[in-house]
Structure 1
């Protein structure tokens, strides 16, 4: 009896194991422990009382999300078919924080087409709707977003659609699509002395947040206040809004990455960080302080921003790359009393160090004033680089810069095509606008080297200066006006004086026509080795657009081929050493090895402009090939060929025909020619001049050998494909586990029945 009981227990254990094996192999059981990552689903038909985290039991409201504390790795997913009207406001101190390896993620589910996203519609938020409208910092208390994330580390906002439009035309609010901010809860001391500034710095640094990612979102139709618009503060007093409204705004001491976002029809800004000067201890004059250590804006598309497109402000090690900015500074309402727009540009830096902009396209800026250009080194920005950027059809020109405490800024290997609108005022008509708030001398003028400027018909001035700048650094640049117009090189804002650059370098450039370089400099400026001839480019009337592929985050630089100097161009190897030009700090941080098209740079004697010239075609030597062909033709009249085996003659004729074709091929390279010479010689040697003797091995047939090699390769590929079609042993075992488990279960069942019959018979 004891034995039978033991056997029954054993069978039950075996049965349990079989069932477990079957379940484990057939599918994963979704049991969620507290330590595992959680997914919270939110849908318009959900219920906030649901306590099961599943797609079939979603929550319903933004309020439920805002009342929940999350943990690292959690996902907050909104139904892509849903719309939520109102604000989503989260704070890391209340709603939890992620970690570097497990951020908290906001996103969508039921996306289907990856473009479909859940919609959060702020419906024209106002500051008094936000629980954060009693901030200690000036103006930041007036910012109001459809989505707000405060004081948080390691959060990701992704795959949602955000809008914040009032529908009543009332812009008296600093409306934002997505706002990310780090707050300063300790009031700053009121003093402006050195000790007070240090106290402010300590408070500010303590507010640092990191690990914020904003990606794959669609932000559109945000009607926030323009820079000049008044907005009411908490007392009802109307105050200037500044540049605090827009699509995606990051404020405070926050490290952030914004990538793959589409931002359209927003005011005032498209995408920027540190939009409010009051977060800086001491304001903008505290230019030596960097508000955030890392800001990265990548692969974003911005169109129709009323003000600036992209701004990286008060950042160290910031990066803006593979972005498209189209029609920034475009809203008619953004114009000031005189009919010109306020100071907006396409993509620019302010108040930071070691910031890099590369592979961006900025075009179609319709309005203008002193700004309105594609790019800008603004006040207190130093040691930054613009490289491999494409600017075209911007009414305010290619760039401006403000020489307030600037050093070692560099524009290199950029392309400007047809920038500047036809405006009568010299203050508004400039390819480059030079603003010198403080006379920093030569150090305040960025180094322009190896840029290409295709000057349009509308340009009247290459540069406009406000007379404070005396130094210039302009080397290895290609300035070409294909229409033959000759704008002045530099004038003052009034247009009635031509200031003289009194120091620096204006050498190794190409100006065509020659009159582009007029007498706007003293003899102290180096103007040596400039060229005044046609640069011999391609079709420069072509204006390719839309070069950034936002699916891959890449730029189609091959579309710019018409701006590459052709072989034999006078600009080839006519430039000054790039290594000699580059400041040491820039070379250490941003070393350069290639031109705009990706070709290696000739460092000692580079091509003038943004593109290395096309290398001259190396002549292909075909004399030896012709000699061997002549020998082959001659041997066809001799017994060596006439009495050769039919197979050898056929192989010989084939190779000879290929050699004759190659002789007239204009694009054949030297290696191909050399290989054909060798092949034809082998075919000549294979001709034995007599019929094959039975049993005697024939000479190698080159054509057959090639076919044989092809067949071997096909066989190898076929075998490789077959091996892919069959799983490996381990994979077969894993795939067979459900069947094995089922068979074991059936066997055990029959075993139990048989055992019971056996016991009954006993």
Structure 2
């Protein structure tokens, strides 16, 4: 009996233990990051204070404490810091770090020495930064009153006990006329070109009264008389006084102006140069006086003199040398003619003023097509910068920068070959048999427009020799090309952490780089790339870095078909990892016009995948050069398309400082793989009019931020549409409102099984946020933040704004919360407005047209959970993967949608406001972000909802997620519009078909095609000059219309053609071949799949090719992705008669892309030159043999992906299953053992 009791107890104990372990595993499976956001608002967080001096942890420079010793608290607790600075050092700011050691990335703003504890950051270390003040030979005296020491002043006796340093200021309570004389480091020099200035901050403290308060003596004669600046409560004047301690209301007044010296702080600048003194307050001129006798021989003497029983405070005193300034004007000339609209070169160091006696720090950067000759002055004299100094003259200094056109170059364009195995650096490099061996030869030479540099496949460049840099730029019709040649593995640039950036461009334009493999793995840090394993917190490492500095406009940089991987960069710097574009400088407004980053595969890159553009000329949060109003000179024509970014340590793709950027057809997989703090999959920052569409983002790790997609700060009028987001640990969508954000739109997206929360409206939500026609589904209850809408940290940012949601489907398991309880969403739910949304399994908010019954989808939750291809499950590549989110026939949701106009009308009525400002008429699409935000603040939030979206070539807003055309009526709820058959019977249409092939045509009666028949002929492949990749099956048809007597008919209007396809086949392309007497051209046709038929619109008949996806990977079929001598990828079509692409140096590949986007025909030659720049042909197909040919290193694609998988712990779900099986096994054994005993 005791044995039975023991065995039963053992069984129960083992079962409970296994169950507990399984629950623990399940609980941890949702968050792979080591840090998760705490949802308990009452959690106590700790603040640690540290000090750095010149980058080293020590207190040589000063110290920092918390007032009242408050260093912990719940979210919202305010921390006030107090900094003390040691003599000879200065305080430069704060840094802050998460508990993991990663930077808070600016998400803990410390303003005026104060910040709030936040759930978003948790436990934080704040570091006060100090630096040693460099020796400045122009400084005679300075005092920031960072210490209580006043031994560097000579004081009158009556000030003893009446003067002291408090809170970083010198407080003076003078009983009457007194003196405070700074002890200068040396005698003030007053030569002809020099002067001196006195800067100080002053304000009355205590009781403020309107009479004589303070003097500043600046000159003293040998007889003791002085010249002084005197403040009263009502005026400021220049006076001559009998002595320093002259009584009140005495002396000779030379100049005076009204001025109120009250309790507000005034920053005074007094400048003495020659016989003139000028005075300003907060940079605003007050008065000026020139002495006819040049001060009667008085010398410099500085004394601060309180003259009445008033209390004042002084701060930040600086006495320094000044020099005479001259205005400088640098004028460019081309062939002797002044130019303003053409920039033959950029001139760095060009400033509006220069000091007399200085040299001119000018540097010229020539632009393609021009040659710099030299500088001349306005009298035609040559200016040699090595010996020139600015003469002392009152007139403007005019310098001419002379250029000449460089129509004739000293050599023809060339193709250079580099072969690390068979090459030799003593060779000419101008043929495959005379190839160079190293990239050093490229670095030594200057390329000219039209040059090509080809690296042989199979080559390997290691360490410092992996640095790919060169001099020179291309031209619009003759770009410089860097590519590969031969067969085999891609050329490998293997930097091994020896160089910061493997490929680097500096002030270069019209450059195309393609078909290379890049890695930069430093062995001194962790190289495993397992989840949260990177330990690099100090060394910057990149794959590609493009820099423009004081250059002007940089045109057309193309990066495509490259494989970047294994870069273990610095986790504390967002700006390292894969591909980066920057704009630096302060003198020449600079930006990019034309960036194409396309079809690249990036994996295991830390910290970031693709980031562009970081610009000093487009920062809306900092003051910048006065030449750029509102600090907004964004880069334009930026396209990021068709890239796969896998296991980026932080963000996958970020665009910033751009206007009209397009991010489409990219895949973000496993972003934020290294617990980097606040990162998401794909997002814009400070990027106006951005469109993010047709992307797939999944399995972003962690909950800080952890979303698949994000519309971030200062990205006004940006649109997030047609994206598929799934299985992201931090949720679907983040919308930030820390800085000025206006009119973000989230429309026609699908979110499947995103976790933690769905929408995060951080810092209160942005003005004019519109979220409509999205389908949100989750098959499990949200945990962590636990709710659909999260609104954390509303105390920061620009305040809580109204958010508008309509026509969305919220489809959850029972009991889901709409608002995250641990956030301010419930508190501000009156600012979150719902209208005409459908709700399943979630609490229904205040929605007057809430839909809660009859909500069905074809197969909700059946969307793909994994994607290991280069093809996003979105847009033109959809062939049924997400049909589960379509509406079934006769769905109640099919016609229940409301128009945007109706929704906006309701929101006006609900808020009780009227239309006030028309954003479109006021030019909001062309405004800087801060201008648009200022406009939005003048009116209500409904006005700020975007009515007109960014006009970007190839972008449309008239379809649903699946490409179905939206009508003005009978709109549907959710991301799928009711699907209508293209061949829906219409009285005005005529339909004909070919019985043998099943091909059909529909056309309008207005087409005047009476009495016609379809003529269909299957084309033999040998008849075509072009072939598709041999791995992919194709069918080619000639489709014509014939009159009854056999005459072919031309079309006057477009017709709709349907071509039957096999149900289990996936279509890659539909192509139209056009022929004439001399050439054959090809263009891709848009199409969609409906009821196992290809549906396409065309206004031309002729030969059509249908390309199917290959059925399996065949490693030997790699010949159709070779690189010809020109280095152009021939992924798409090849000429059967001549498979070698001609070398052409006068084609603009970037402009060619635009042509293909317009759907214009490309000649056969252009097709070869364009390679994979043609819109769909250039996209690396899901056919993995093609992808292998471009990005593989002569190994199976499956092997490449196998290496990309985590080495340990791929799935907690597997762990749970094993524990469960083990539990059952133990129970079974125990039962058998029990029976044997019984």
Per residue, is there more helix in 1 or in 2? Answer: 1
Which digits, 9 at most, give the CA deviation of each residue in 1:292-349, with x for residues without a partner?
1222110001100010011011111111111011000012xx3xxxxxx500000000
Aligned to 1:68: 445
Aligned to 1:532: 852
Q: Are the aligned partners of 1:315 and 1:353 in contact in 2 as well (CA < 8 Å)?
A: yes
Q: Report the CA distance shift for 1:497/1:123 in structure 2 as closer, same or farther (over 3 A).
A: closer
Aligned to 1:24: none
1:43 and 2:420 matched: yes
**Which of 382, 387, 395 is residue 721 of structure 2 equivalent to?**
387
Which digits, 9 at most, give the CA deviation of each residue in 1:76-97, with x for residues without a partner?
11111111013455667xx111
Q: Are the aligned partners of 1:596 and 1:610 in contact in 2 as well (CA < 8 Å)?
A: yes
User: Counterparts of 1:280-359 in structure 2 under 5 Å?
Assistant: 280=618, 283=621, 289-331=632-674, 334=675, 341-359=676-694
Structure-2 separation of matches of 1:62 and 1:614: 56
Q: State the TM-score, normalizing by the size of structure 2.
A: 0.40
Structure-2 separation of matches of 1:730 and 1:391: 48
Q: Are the aligned partners of 1:300 and 1:323 in contact in 2 as well (CA < 8 Å)?
A: yes
Q: Report the CA distance shift for 1:568/1:463 in structure 2 as closer, same or farther (over 3 A).
A: same
Aligned to 2:781: 458
**Which of 816, 832, 840 is residue 487 of structure 1 equivalent to?**
816
**Which of 874, 878, 881 is residue 559 of structure 1 equivalent to?**
881
Aligned to 1:260: 599
**Which of 486, 490, 504 is residue 117 of structure 1 equivalent to?**
490
Structure-1 separation of matches of 2:951 and 2:459: 50
Aligned to 1:97: 473
Aligned to 2:569: 224
1:49, CA displacement in angstroms?
Answer: 1.4
Structure-1 separation of matches of 2:622 and 2:513: 30
Q: Report the CA distance shift for 1:717/1:159 in structure 2 as closer, same or farther (over 3 A).
A: closer
Aligned to 2:925: none
Which digits, 9 at most, give the CA deviation of each residue in 1:135-183, with x for residues without a partner?
xxxxxxxxx2112111111111110000000112173211001111113
Equivalenced residues, count: 526
Q: Report the CA distance shift for 1:38/1:566 in structure 2 as closer, same or farther (over 3 A).
A: same
SS in 1 for 2:636: coil
Q: Are the aligned partners of 2:668 and 2:696 in contact in 1 as well (CA < 8 Å)?
A: yes
User: Counterparts of 1:8-47 in structure 2 under 5 Å?
Assistant: 34-47=411-424
Structure-2 separation of matches of 1:176 and 1:217: 14
Structure-2 separation of matches of 1:499 and 1:559: 40
Structure-2 separation of matches of 1:151 and 1:617: 51
**Which of 351, 356, 372 is residue 706 of structure 2 equivalent to?**
372
Aligned to 2:960: 595
Q: Are the aligned partners of 1:123 and 1:164 in contact in 2 as well (CA < 8 Å)?
A: yes
1:108 and 2:484 matched: yes
Which digits, 9 at most, give the CA deviation of each residue in 1:192-244, with x for residues without a partner?
xxxxxxxxxxxxxx4432211110000000010002xxxxxxxxxxxxxx311
Q: Are the aligned partners of 2:418 and 2:439 in contact in 1 as well (CA < 8 Å)?
A: no
For structure 2, the 5+ residue unaligned runs are 1-408, 527-535, 584-590, 625-629, 905-944, 986-997, 1003-1012, 1027-1074, 1080-1136, 1138-1238
1:72, CA displacement in angstroms?
Answer: 1.0
Structure-2 separation of matches of 1:496 and 1:579: 29
SS in 1 for 2:445: coil
Structure-2 separation of matches of 1:163 and 1:244: 17
Q: Are the aligned partners of 2:613 and 2:656 in contact in 1 as well (CA < 8 Å)?
A: yes
Q: Are the aligned partners of 1:434 and 1:469 in contact in 2 as well (CA < 8 Å)?
A: no
Aligned to 2:870: 550
Structure-1 separation of matches of 2:951 and 2:493: 45
Q: Report the CA distance shift for 1:90/1:292 in structure 2 as closer, same or farther (over 3 A).
A: farther
1:587, CA displacement in angstroms?
Answer: 6.9
User: Counterparts of 1:593-742 in structure 2 under 5 Å?
Assistant: 593-615=958-980
Q: Report the CA distance shift for 1:717/1:343 in structure 2 as closer, same or farther (over 3 A).
A: closer
Q: Report the CA distance shift for 1:554/1:165 in structure 2 as closer, same or farther (over 3 A).
A: farther
SS in 2 for 1:274: strand
User: Counterparts of 1:179-198 in structure 2 under 5 Å?
Assistant: 179-184=545-550
Q: Are the aligned partners of 1:567 and 1:616 in contact in 2 as well (CA < 8 Å)?
A: no
Structure-1 separation of matches of 2:1076 and 2:670: 56
Q: Are the aligned partners of 2:790 and 2:825 in contact in 1 as well (CA < 8 Å)?
A: no
Aligned to 1:248: 579
SS in 2 for 1:271: strand
SS in 2 for 1:34: coil
Aligned to 1:414: 749
Q: Are the aligned partners of 1:148 and 1:179 in contact in 2 as well (CA < 8 Å)?
A: yes
1:210 and 2:586 matched: no
Q: Are the aligned partners of 1:75 and 1:105 in contact in 2 as well (CA < 8 Å)?
A: yes
Q: Are the aligned partners of 2:542 and 2:577 in contact in 1 as well (CA < 8 Å)?
A: yes
Structure-2 separation of matches of 1:149 and 1:618: 53
Which digits, 9 at most, give the CA deviation of each residue in 1:559-602, with x for residues without a partner?
11111110111111111114666723317666511111111112
SS in 1 for 2:884: helix
1:408, CA displacement in angstroms?
Answer: 1.7
Q: Are the aligned partners of 1:284 and 1:351 in contact in 2 as well (CA < 8 Å)?
A: no
Q: Are the aligned partners of 1:100 and 1:154 in contact in 2 as well (CA < 8 Å)?
A: yes
Aligned to 1:517: 844
Q: Are the aligned partners of 1:323 and 1:548 in contact in 2 as well (CA < 8 Å)?
A: no
Structure-1 separation of matches of 2:517 and 2:469: 20
1:60, CA displacement in angstroms?
Answer: 1.1
1:469 and 2:469 matched: no
Aligned to 1:541: 861
Q: Report the CA distance shift for 1:595/1:398 in structure 2 as closer, same or farther (over 3 A).
A: same
Structure-2 separation of matches of 1:361 and 1:728: 41
**Which of 540, 565, 585 is residue 174 of structure 1 equivalent to?**
540
1:111, CA displacement in angstroms?
Answer: 2.9
Q: Report the CA distance shift for 1:91/1:209 in structure 2 as closer, same or farther (over 3 A).
A: farther
1:495, CA displacement in angstroms?
Answer: 4.5
Aligned to 1:501: 829
Q: Are the aligned partners of 2:690 and 2:950 in contact in 1 as well (CA < 8 Å)?
A: no
1:501, CA displacement in angstroms?
Answer: 3.1
Per residue, is there more strand in 1 or in 2? Answer: 2
Aligned to 1:660: none
Aligned to 1:634: none
Structure-2 separation of matches of 1:463 and 1:497: 7
SS in 2 for 1:559: coil
Q: Are the aligned partners of 1:548 and 1:555 in contact in 2 as well (CA < 8 Å)?
A: no
Q: Report the CA distance shift for 1:723/1:243 in structure 2 as closer, same or farther (over 3 A).
A: closer
Which digits, 9 at most, give the CA deviation of each residue in 1:231-264, with x for residues without a partner?
xxxxxxxxxxx31111111112334211010000
Q: Report the CA distance shift for 1:118/1:496 in structure 2 as closer, same or farther (over 3 A).
A: closer
Q: Are the aligned partners of 1:470 and 1:500 in contact in 2 as well (CA < 8 Å)?
A: no
Q: Are the aligned partners of 1:415 and 1:451 in contact in 2 as well (CA < 8 Å)?
A: yes
1:84 and 2:461 matched: yes
Aligned to 2:435: 58
Q: Report the CA distance shift for 1:54/1:396 in structure 2 as closer, same or farther (over 3 A).
A: same
1:610, CA displacement in angstroms?
Answer: 0.6
Q: Are the aligned partners of 1:472 and 1:501 in contact in 2 as well (CA < 8 Å)?
A: no
Structure-1 separation of matches of 2:741 and 2:487: 47
Q: Are the aligned partners of 1:368 and 1:395 in contact in 2 as well (CA < 8 Å)?
A: yes
Q: Are the aligned partners of 1:177 and 1:222 in contact in 2 as well (CA < 8 Å)?
A: yes
